[in-house]
Amino acid sequence: MGKHSQPGPPNQPSRAIPSLDDHDRLAAYTQRRRPPLDVWRRHRPLHGGGGHLRPEEPRALEEWNGFSYRPTGTAANLAEAQRWVNEQEPLDRAEDR
């Protein structure tokens, strides 16, 4: 086995996925609807490659809708895409938490 085969120490909870609330009957359903690593918005280069490469090229903007990422628009460059990703979340999503 490789040295990176273990996910982490067995005595620490995972930081990637929040723990379930024992009193909430819909906690498992709510957890499945959360985006991977709680990334609600993301951007991807339109022509492929790493997100940090060629910062002057346009980006595709994607937003989590509860089941998958959906395209929501484009940005002219990396700086504009990062501003969009870091904007405050819509109110309906903030209330769900």
Digit-coded pLDDT (tens) for 10-63: 666 565 555 667 788 888 777 777 888 788 899 999 988 888 889 999 999 999
Q: How many other C-beta atoms lie within 10 A of the C-beta of residue 61?
A: 20
Weakest mean pLDDT among 3-7, 65-69, 93-97: 93-97
Instruction: Check pLDDT > 80 for residue 96.
Output: no
pLDDT at 85: 93
d(CA 90, CA 93): 6
Greater confidence (22 vs 8) lies with 22
Query: In this predicted structure, what is the pLDDT of residue 91?
Result: 45
**Residue closest to 81 by CA, chosen among 69, 91, 73, 89:** 73
Residues ≥6 apart with Cβ < 8 Å to 6: none
Q: Is 81 exposed, middle or buried (0-12, 13-18, 19+ CB in 10 A)?
A: buried
